[in-house]
Amino acid sequence: MKGLRLTIARQTVSSILDTLGDDDFFNVIAYNDEVHYVEPCLNGTLVQADVTNKDHFRMNLDKLLAKGIGMLDVGLTEAFEVLNDFNQTGRGSVCSQAIMLVTDGAVDTYDSVFAKYNWPDRKVRIFPYLIGRESAFADNLKWMACANKGYFTQISTLADVQENVMEYLHVLSRPKVIAQEHDTVWTEAYIDSTLEDGQGPILMTTVAMPVFSTKNETRNRGILLGVVGTDVPVSELLKTIPKYKLGIHGYAFAITNNGYILTHPDLRPLYEESKKRRKPNYSSVDLSEVEWEDKDDTLRNAMVNRKTGTFSMEVKKTVDKGVSVFTHPYAPH
């Protein structure tokens, strides 16, 4: 895989990464007669698909070069091993598992690999992406997709990448559509402007849910029609907090299910309020980065796991715009 094909393959992987969010885990493995992890420090595991990790992998994609002969069974075996090992750790939701196979050909169907790792349960879906205009190997890749509850796509040009990559989302959504599961999702906090004049950029979050066909004749096909959502200023969420319970030095904060700050007094997403310049990765600031005294992540982990209750600890709090520091007892609820 050289020249334009390699460029298309890199863009395909990058576009797949764009579809992943903080609730997803991934890794990128290259292969010839042996496997090569795009990030060698993460051999044999999966990493959370946050902004920092995805950007890091994109930079490493440029280092991939065509060398040797692609032994697809080697790559597939490693991918299944990684998924099996990660499942034993108890991390991640293990909601949907998939192997995205980006290749310019397959000389075999490799059914022995699938028989060993994926049949008869077929818990891992296979999504082959055939790079290039030749269709000599298309039948083998189509068989892999059909035999493992996936979807086959051929990508001939860079212009085809985005649209074809998105096809796998319709396949993964089918079980939820058939089960009529209206999952509600809240995003991380982000900076955006409102329609109100003079307000400028503020912290926002978005709540969204799927829209699918409810017709009886199409229900078993799991047709996802789209997604409906609305933006909500974080300030509106803060209005629901009973401030009289906080006390003179008290404050309220909120985090996502991944421990990232939705709102916190020490979250400063802009460099300077007047210049409106956003800090990189401001939307993926972990609670442990601002609540320094929570060294064992007791508070953070309890919130992520949706526990309720009360405990106390001493914290250092900055005042006078960070010039002074004082210590006071802290009782998170």
Strands 25-26, 47-48: parallel, antiparallel or unpaired by DSSP? antiparallel
What residues does each domain of the chain span? 3-178, 186-330
The pLDDT, as a whole number, for residue 198 is 65
The pLDDT, as a whole number, for residue 275 is 61
Nearest partner of 106 among 172, 170, 154, judged by Cα: 154
The pLDDT, as a whole number, for residue 329 is 54
The pLDDT, as a whole number, for residue 326 is 47
Reported pTM: 0.84
Per-residue 3-state assignment (H helix, E strand, C coil) for 150-196: CCCEEECCHHHHHHHHCHHHHHHHHHHHHCCCCCCEECCCEEEECCC
Separation CA 25–CA 46 (nearest Å): 6
The pLDDT, as a whole number, for residue 168 is 93
CB atoms within 10 A of CB 101: 20
Q: What CATH number does domain 3-178 carry, 3.50.50.60, 3.40.50.300, 3.30.360.10, 3.40.50.410? A: 3.40.50.410
The pLDDT, as a whole number, for residue 330 is 56
Separation CA 148–CA 73 (nearest Å): 15
Separation CA 154–CA 135 (nearest Å): 8
Residue for token pair 């800090």: 279
Strands 124-131, 97-103: parallel, antiparallel or unpaired by DSSP? parallel
Q: Which residues of the chain have pLDDT under 50?
A: 322-326
